[in-house]
Structure formats: C-alpha cells, structure tokens
Amino acid sequence: MSYEKVLQANDIIVGTKQTIKALQNGEVKELVVAGDADLRITNKVVHVAKEKNVPVIQVESMKKLGKACGIDVGAATVAIKG
C-alpha cells in the first residue's frame, strides 16, 4: 500500500506549493494524492507530475496520508523525493 511507501521514504514533501516546486526542479520520484482531496488543489499538482513523467499514486484518505507523514492534519499531496 502507498501509505507504507510514504512511511518508509527518507525524504518527502508535504504541501502543494512545495510539491509543485520540487516537481518542476526534477526532484520528485513519485507523487501520492489523496482521493478525497479537493480537485482544485490536486489537479495542478497532478498535471505538473504528468508533464514531468512522475508516477502518480492515489490513496483514499487525506487523514491517513497525513498520519503517514507524521502530521496531525490531512495531506492532499505528498511528494517522495528520489
């Protein structure tokens, strides 16, 4: 499951602005997107990831994704740096 990938990753980025910046700089290996996140938030990140040929993995819950990142709030997107 992708939550484990996030838990095991050494270097992650949480937050859409920082994720987009890292995608544009070619620093992202994989993008994890919460399926219950607002599409207005995730669409731009997913678009940039596809432009850069970065695999996009969808998980079901922002809350679980945030927890996997070690934060107490939900996370819409998480970039795994590579």
- pLDDT tens string, the chain, 82 residues long: the values are 589 999 999 999 998 999 999 999 999 999 999 999 999 999 999 999 999 999 999 999 999 999 999 999 999 999 999 8
Question: Strand order in 28-34's β-sheet?
Answer: 12-14, 77-81, 28-34, 56-59
Pick the closest to residue 49 from 65, 74, 32 (CA basis): 32
Residue 60 is predicted with a pLDDT of 96
Residue 49 is predicted with a pLDDT of 98
Residue 31, amino acid: L
CATH code for the domain of 14: 3.30.1330.30
Residue 2 is predicted with a pLDDT of 80
Residue 1 is predicted with a pLDDT of 59
3-class state of residue 71 by DSSP: coil
Residue 30 is predicted with a pLDDT of 97
Domain that holds residue 22: 2-81
Domains identified in the chain, total number: 1
